[in-house]
Amino acid sequence: MQHTINPEAHGPRGAAMADAVSACVHCGFCLSACPTYSVLGEEMDSPRGRIYLMKSVLEGDLAATDAQPYIDRCLGCMGCEPACPSGVAYGDLLTSYRALQEETRQRPLIDSVTRRMIVETLPYPKRFRAAAKLGRLGKLMQAALPDQLGAMLGLLPDQLPAPVHLPAKIPAKGQRRARVALLTGCVQTVLAPQINQATVDVLTANGVEVVIPQNQGCCGSIMSHIGETQRAQRLAAHNLQAFPTDVDAIITNAAGCGSGMHEYGLLFKGTAQEAAATHFAQQVQDVTVFLAALGLRAMPATQPARRVAYHDACHLAHAQGVTDPPRALLNSIPNLTLVELDNDLCCGSAGTYNLEQPEIAAELGQRKAQSIIETNADMVVMGNIGCFTQVETHLARLQADVSVLHTIELLARAYQ
Ligand code: SF4
Ligand code: SF4
């Protein structure tokens, strides 16, 4: 392929960036799929505009600082990828570009403090739990804080749920049909530990033995998506060792983690761990994909009537192409009516985006909550902890009486 960028000049991921840039034919089909273009209406806040900006920087025609605000405002939601008829690998370009820029980037003090808090707390459940408890006290002075810190506190729940401890192995119920290892995650174990419990309950009810590596840690996806490559590699390398290889799948119930783990080959590109990381990535499956392929055992026929809206998490629908399996599982619950949202744009959560770009995130969160309310659903379900927190926050702000559940939680209820 003809490169317009010298790939060798930009490290092991240079070729991935050059390929993505050269595949873009500037047709603009991606514009309507882009949430920031929809909110801001600026060409440079669209996928096409950002590709042009990154190309110009990589070719040495534009200072990185001039492009930075537009690249920072990108959610990394990947809404543009399935919309692109030319198959531009925008995610590979964005993640690699952010990693490259992070090596030399200077930030204003408040941005540095926010980022430091993110990278030092989110991937570590004990630190995050302690920070969340402190943050609840900080809510008292939220109005006096800078926007980013105020947004961070605003997303914290008033009460943290009690931790859930899962043992190293949970046997299948009935005849064993498969054996999997479960990524329990970092933020999710603190904010919503019931999601992992529900995942175990549904898997074991369907004849799946679940292994929980006790020394596992954060998968590194959040760090990878914000350009903190070395931190991401360290975290991911730990899990490459911690997870067994003799399982049928490595299961995740968080879309952001799943998409990040599927990119391990790119994360470790050019390193001694590239082959092991690529193999690990091939074993990763979202829990809904795994269960839909396995086939659900029958659940009790007597179920309450439920009107359920399904929100496509970007890192599940766009980054992993997973849209049908969760819907198929939900449709298998007796007496459930599944309704679709008009708004399929990102909810504004996008990893740490709602902390780093709170105004755009809030606008998108409000639009998403409004579209959920318009379906008259009793509950909305989704497959990502980040969306979960964002949607719950914005539904509460609009005083909507709509429950927010992870897809697997609703399935677990249906089996009770
Ligand atoms: S749709 Fe694809 S090829 Fe067209 S402008 Fe967008 S990224 Fe470029
Ligand atoms: S990743 Fe999302 S926000 Fe970024 S350019 Fe693509 S559609 Fe727009």
317/88 Cα distance (integer angstroms) = 17
232/223 Cα distance (integer angstroms) = 5
The residue out of 292, 315, 343 marking a domain boundary is 292
Helix axis angle, 358-374 to 147-154, nearest 10°: 40
Same domain for 223 and 182, yes or no, is yes
pLDDT in tens, 297-340: 999 999 999 999 999 999 999 999 999 999 999 999 999 999 99
Atom number in ligand 1 closest to CA 28: 5
Q: Which pLDDT does position 102 carry in this prediction?
A: 86
Q: Which pLDDT does position 143 carry in this prediction?
A: 57
Residue 393: enclosing H or E segment and its boundaries? helix 385-397
- pLDDT of 164 over the 60 cut: yes
* 161 located within any domain: no
- pLDDT of 157 over the 50 cut: yes
Q: Which pLDDT does position 227 carry in this prediction?
A: 84
Residue 15 confidence class, pLDDT cut points 50, 70, 90: confident
- pLDDT of 368 over the 80 cut: yes
Amino acid (1-letter code) at residue 285: Q
Ligand 1 centroid from CA 88, angstroms: 7
Mean pLDDT of 181-186: 94
Cα dihedral across residues 97, 122, 242, 313: positive or negative: negative
Amino acid (1-letter code) at residue 131: A
pLDDT in tens, 337-346: 999 998 888 9
Using CA atoms, how far residue 36 sits from 42, 104, 389, in Å, is 8, 26, 20
Q: Provide the H-helix boundaries in 139-249.
A: 147-154, 187-191, 194-205, 221-225, 229-242
Mean pLDDT of 253-271: 94
- Cβ-contact 185, 260 below 8 angstroms: no
* 32 located within any domain: yes
Same domain for 91 and 119, yes or no, is no
Q: Please give all residues whose beta carbon lies within 6 A of any atom in ligand 1, as ranges.
A: 24-30, 47-48, 51, 80, 84, 86, 88
Same domain for 117 and 34, yes or no, is no
Amino acid (1-letter code) at residue 40: L
The range of the structural domain enclosing residue 18 comes to 7-102
Cα dihedral across residues 377, 382, 388, 394: positive or negative: negative
| Sheet strand arrangement including 178-182 | 169-170, 208-211, 178-182, 249-252, 284-286
Q: Which pLDDT does position 1 carry in this prediction?
A: 47
- pLDDT of 160 over the 50 cut: yes
* Residue 350 Ramachandran class (φ > 0 left, ψ -120 to 50 alpha, else beta): left
Q: Please give all residues whose beta carbon lies within 6 A of any atom in ligand 2, as ranges.
A: 33-36, 47, 50, 74-80, 90
pLDDT in tens, 141-150: 555 555 656 6
* 163 located within any domain: no
| SS3 of residue 284 by DSSP | strand
Same domain for 254 and 279, yes or no, is yes
Same domain for 115 and 211, yes or no, is no
Instruction: Tell me the HSE value of 52 on the side-chain side, using a 13 A CA sphere.
Output: 11
Q: Which of 4-8, 44-48, 173-177, 231-235 has the lowest mean pLDDT?
A: 4-8
CB-count exposure of residue 84 (10 Å: 0-12, 13-18, 19+): buried
* 159 located within any domain: no
Amino acid (1-letter code) at residue 97: Y
Partnered with residue 133 across adjacent β-strands are: none
- Our mutation pick for probing the ligand 1 site, out of 25, 52, 318, counting the most ligand atoms within 8 A of Cβ, is 25
CATH number for the domain harbouring residue 190: 3.40.50
- pLDDT of 24 over the 50 cut: yes
186/195 Cα distance (integer angstroms) = 12
Q: Which pLDDT does position 120 carry in this prediction?
A: 86
**Kind of pairing between the strands at 208-211 and 169-170:** antiparallel
Say if pTM beats, i.e. exceeds, 0.85.
yes
412/283 Cα distance (integer angstroms) = 24
Ligand 2 centroid from CA 74, angstroms: 5
339/376 Cα distance (integer angstroms) = 9
The residue out of 257, 292, 327 marking a domain boundary is 292
Q: Which pLDDT does position 225 carry in this prediction?
A: 84
Q: Which pLDDT does position 213 carry in this prediction?
A: 98
CATH number for the domain harbouring residue 37: 1.10.1060.10
Same domain for 137 and 187, yes or no, is no
Same domain for 288 and 315, yes or no, is no
- pLDDT of 292 over the 80 cut: yes
Same domain for 323 and 382, yes or no, is yes
**Cα angle: 170, vertex 173, 174; to 5 degrees:** 145
CATH number for the domain harbouring residue 385: 3.40.50.1860
Q: Which pLDDT does position 240 carry in this prediction?
A: 97
* 379 located within any domain: yes
Amino acid (1-letter code) at residue 368: K
Q: Can you point out the beta strands (E) in 305-390?
A: 306-310, 336-340, 379-382
The residue out of 250, 268, 292 marking a domain boundary is 292
Q: Which pLDDT does position 150 carry in this prediction?
A: 63
* 184 located within any domain: yes
Q: Which pLDDT does position 282 carry in this prediction?
A: 97
| SS3 of residue 341 by DSSP | coil
End-to-end CA distance of the chain: 55
153/160 Cα distance (integer angstroms) = 13
- Collect all residues with Cβ–Cβ distance below 8 Å to 406 and sequence separation of at least 6: 192, 195, 198, 253, 381, 382, 383, 385, 388
Instruction: Tell me the HSE value of 100 on the side-chain side, using a 13 A CA sphere.
Output: 23
Tell the residue nearest (CA) to atom 7 of ligand 2. 34
Residue 156 confidence class, pLDDT cut points 50, 70, 90: low
Rg (alpha carbons) of the chain, rounded to whole number: 21
Q: Chain-wide mean pLDDT for the chain? A: 90
Indicate the number of domains in the chain. Answer: 4
Same domain for 314 and 359, yes or no, is yes
Same domain for 179 and 288, yes or no, is yes
Same domain for 124 and 175, yes or no, is no
Partnered with residue 210 across adjacent β-strands are: 170, 180
CB-count exposure of residue 206 (10 Å: 0-12, 13-18, 19+): buried
Atom number in ligand 1 closest to CA 27: 4
* 62 located within any domain: yes
Question: Minimum-distance ligand to the CA of 92?
Answer: 2
* 287 located within any domain: yes
Same domain for 193 and 256, yes or no, is yes
Kindly provide the b/e burial profile for residues 105-115, where b requires at least 16 CB atoms within 10 angstroms of the residue's own CB: eeeeeeeeebb
- Our mutation pick for probing the ligand 2 site, out of 75, 263, 367, counting the most ligand atoms within 8 A of Cβ, is 75
Ligand 1 centroid from CA 157, angstroms: 39
